[in-house]
Every structure is written in C-alpha cells, then in structure tokens.
A and B are shown apart, each in its own frame.
Chain A
Amino acid sequence: MNLRKKTLGYAIVAFVLLLLPVVLSPLLGSEQLATHLTARNEAPSWSHPFGTDWLGRDMFTRSIKGLALSLGVGLTAALASGLIAGTLGLMAATLGKAADRFISWLIDLFLSVPHLVLLLLIAFVTGGGVKGVIIAVGLTHWPSLARLIRAEILQLKSSEFVLVSRHMGRSRWWIATRHLLPHLWPQFIVGTLLLFPHAILHEAAITFLGMGLSPHQPAIGIILSESMRYLSTGMWWLAFFPGLCLLILVRSFDVLATNLYALVDPNRSQE
C-alpha cells in the first residue's frame, strides 16, 4: 500500500464519519426527544449511550440530530461563503485596479472587525434562527478565501507559462479554462471545505451565546450551553459526548480537506 492509497483511505474514512449523523438522524426518529421524567439524569448506559438530561431526553439522539443540523447549517453557510469568495476574488483579479482596490479594502475591513462581534450583530439583525445563523456565518467567512483566490489569479496571470500560452496563439478563454481553472479548483474546493469547521464552530458559538438557533432545536451549541448549568452537579456526560462529537466532526473535515489537496497535487502524484 503506497502513501497515495493511504491518503485516499483517510479521505474516505473522514467522509463516512461526516455522513454518519446525516444518515442516522432520520433513522432515530423524534420519539427519543420527548421528555421521560422517569429516566432523568441517567449516566451513560447501553440503552442511553450518551446518558440522559434533566428532562429524560436521550442525549445520543439529541447529539446526532444536533450534528446533522450543524452539518446542514455549516454546509449552506460554507457554500455561500465560498461563492462570495470566488466571485469577489475573481472580480478583484480581473476587473482592473479600481475594483481590486475596493474589494481588497472590503476584505481588510471584514478581517479587521472581530469575527464573533460581526456574527452576533448580523444574527441579531436577521432575527436569529436557522436562517439568521446561515446568513451571519455565510457573510463573515469569505474574506480569507477571497484574498487567497485573488492572489492566486494575479500570480497565475503573470506566470511565464500563461504568457507562453498567449504566444502560442491561445485565446483568453482557452487560457482561463485550461491554465487558470486547474490551479484554482483545488484551492477553491479545499478552501471551502476548510471553511466548514469554522462555520460549524461559529454556529455552535452564537447559539451558545443565545443569538442563534431556538432552544427547542437539538443543536450542538444549545446542548453545550444548557449543559453548563449541570456540569457542577457531576453530570459530565451532558457536555462530554456532544463536545467530543463536535470535535470529531470538525477534525474529519480537516482530514478530508488536507487529504483531498494531497491527492490533486501533481508534485505528490508518485508518493
């Protein structure tokens, strides 16, 4: 087994881990989310692997459903961010000096405001909920990727092989699709994938701070913020398992993105 196959293996394992909550969530049904006052505050056991909370709700079901929701919110927000980043990066690099200066200024502006403050503000203005969280996360996570794409295009445009291609009589469109895109795609896809963990963590963060999803939804941020009140009474499983799941989810994205990048890099095609 060579390193390349191993890389592919890691990517697939990470992908399956990510898919798990999405597949499990509808299978579990909502019956377990109802309150069972006879089974309150139970420590982890075979019937309740993650324990139950102070209302007798099964924490395993809540965590899986929370992860699925986080994945959905993260996916939409990361895609929106990626789209904004791609469009603005492309515009900055191709529409001339004035556009470039304006977009660079916009990027600097967004980067200079503390992330969380901006997130809270936008989530508050849009009224919270799933929609508010998606808009807030989507609108705040594009600057670094936009900057990356802009720099990449500018560098490619002046690279010798693009100049040579023009001397070979190739058209702008031909060069854009054959020379520029193959360089931009991996950057864009990996950049968007790496936005994902950010988006999920920030979704959890604003929900934790009370500006995000509404409390009856089984979201990881809600679960974590509620568990804070019960930690001191020794109910460690309320925070431990959901938190661990969130970490595994985020790490899976990281592993998926870095391994995908290694797979499409020609310098590493023989490893």
Chain B
Amino acid sequence: MQLEARSISKRYGEEQWLFRNANAALQTGEVVGLLGPSGCGKSTFCRILAGYDSSTEGEVMLDGERLPSKGYRPVQLIFQHPERAVNPRWKAGAIMNEGWQPDGSMLESLEINPEWLNRWPSELSGGELQRICIARALAPHTRFILADEMTTMLDAITQARIWKTVLELAASRQMGLMVVSHDRHLIDRICTRVIDFRSLG
C-alpha cells in the first residue's frame, strides 16, 4: 500500500502559504523521518495526510484512492499532546479500547500498567497517557502510523523502549511509519529514509 501526498498546499484564510506543492509518498513497511524546524508546517502536513485536516490544494491518496471517510481509518495519527487527544471524562481503559481491545502482551510491550486503565486522564502523566494513545492507534487495521513528535515528553530510556516496540510491530505487520521530529539523532537512528520538510514545498 502507498500513502501519497499529491502536490498539497495549505494556507489558513488569506494568510501566506504554510507550504506549497508538497509531494511525498510513504510505502507500507517503510520508516520515513520527516525533519524540519519548529513552526514550518510539519504537524499540519501530518494532519492532512491522516485526514484530520483538508488541504487548500492537492490531494492525499491511499493506493490511488481518496482517504476513506467512514469506518476505522487505516491512517492513524499519534498527536504530540496526549492530554488533548483523550476525553477528560473517560477513564484510561475506555480511551484505549475505543477502536479495539489491545491484548496483554501489547500492554506489556508498551509498558502500560493495567492499574492505569482504571484512572482518569488527569491522574496519569503525559508519558503514561501517550502510551495509552499509542496502544489505541495500533489496531490491526492500521496500515500507516504518523507519529507527530510522539515521544518528545518521554525520558530517553522509555523513548528507546517505546520506539523498539513500535518499530517491531510495524515490521511484523508491514505498517508504514512516518516519524516527525526535529530530533535529528532519533530520526537518523530509526528511519530508513529521511525527508527534509523544507525541500517539499
């Protein structure tokens, strides 16, 4: 499968263009890094790729077709701020099981303590919540994961463990992975290909 951005451009209202004619393609089984300075539009680009936002011009194609607008979406985005991506009035267990039911081994490999599942989001740290969000997005139907600064709030050791789990899972399920970061070292370490966002558009 291929996720493709066909010359997409974005601007808000009549303001200046955030980016223009950005082209990029991501294959399943690939780990691509997206590098760029803060505020250059990486996050917006990801939101458009995942179908969370619409582009002003151009189209996002999944195997030559438009992104589906119903059912479980094969392209999942993991947000930078997990505390905003969860309903504060739901307990962590309900949040994690919204799309599917991760099994015990998944929880173990993401180092999610089952006790957390009975707590409110406000009682979990950002790192703990983010792990719940990652588990939520890793349903079997997921073909592409867009990780937007996914592990920025985690310490180095947890970061390494989480990436190991996600990379293993992506390899065994043949998922495509896009790693958005401004951390050059992380991207050099885990990605098979690196895209510099400024060269896109």
Contacts and interface: CB of A to CB of B under 8 A. Distances in A.
Query: Do A and B associate with each other?
Result: yes
Nearest to B79: A160
A167 B50 contact: yes
Interface in A253-271: 266-267, 269-270
A40 interface: no
Contacts of B71: 169
Nearest to B74: A167
Contacts of A38: none
B178 to A, nearest CB: 16
A170 interface: yes
A163 interface: yes
A166 to B, nearest CB: 8
Nearest to A164: B85
B73 interface: yes
B196 interface: no
Contacts of B81: 160
A267 B72 contact: no
Interface residues of A, number: 17
Contact of A182 (B84, B85, B89): B89
Given A168-B98, A179-B87, A267-B122, 10 more contacts: A160-B84, A160-B85, A161-B95, A164-B85, A167-B77, A168-B139, A169-B73, A182-B90, A266-B122, A267-B120
Nearest to B53: A163
**Interface majority SS (helix, strand, loop, mixed), chain A:** helix
Contact of A266 (B85, B98, B120, B139): B120
Contacts, number: 50
B70 A161 contact: no
B140 to A, nearest CB: 13
A167 B89 contact: no
Given A161-B84, A161-B87, A179-B87, A169 B123 contact: no
B85 A167 contact: no
Contact of B51 (A167, A168, A269): A167
Nearest to A183: B89
Interface of A: 159-161, 163-165, 167-170, 179, 182-183, 266-267, 269-270
A38 to B, nearest CB: 63
Interface in B82-100: 84-90, 95, 98-99
Nearest to B82: A160
Contacts of B120: 266-267, 269
A249 to B, nearest CB: 31
A161 B52 contact: no
Contacts of B70: 169
Interface in B63-122: 70-73, 76-77, 79, 81, 84-90, 95, 98-99, 120-122
B84 A167 contact: no
Interface string B158-195: 00000000000000000000000000000000000000
A125 B119 CA distance: 55
A160 B53 CA distance: 11
6 nearest A-B residue pairs (beta carbon): A168-B99, A169-B72, A266-B120, A160-B85, A167-B73, A169-B71
25 contacts: A160-B84, A160-B85, A161-B86, A161-B87, A161-B95, A163-B52, A164-B85, A164-B98, A167-B50, A167-B72, A167-B76, A168-B72, A168-B99, A168-B139, A169-B71, A169-B99, A170-B98, A182-B89, A183-B89, A266-B89, A266-B121, A267-B88, A267-B120, A267-B122, A270-B123
Contacts of B136: 164, 168
Nearest to A267: B122
Nearest to A162: B87
Contacts of A159: 84
Nearest to B98: A168
A168 B88 CA distance: 17
Nearest to A168: B99
Nearest to A179: B87
A232 B71 CA distance: 75
Contacts of A168: 72-73, 98-99, 136, 139
B97 to A, nearest CB: 10
A153 to B, nearest CB: 14
Interface in B21-70: 50-52, 70
A164 B84 CA distance: 10
A268 B117 CA distance: 18
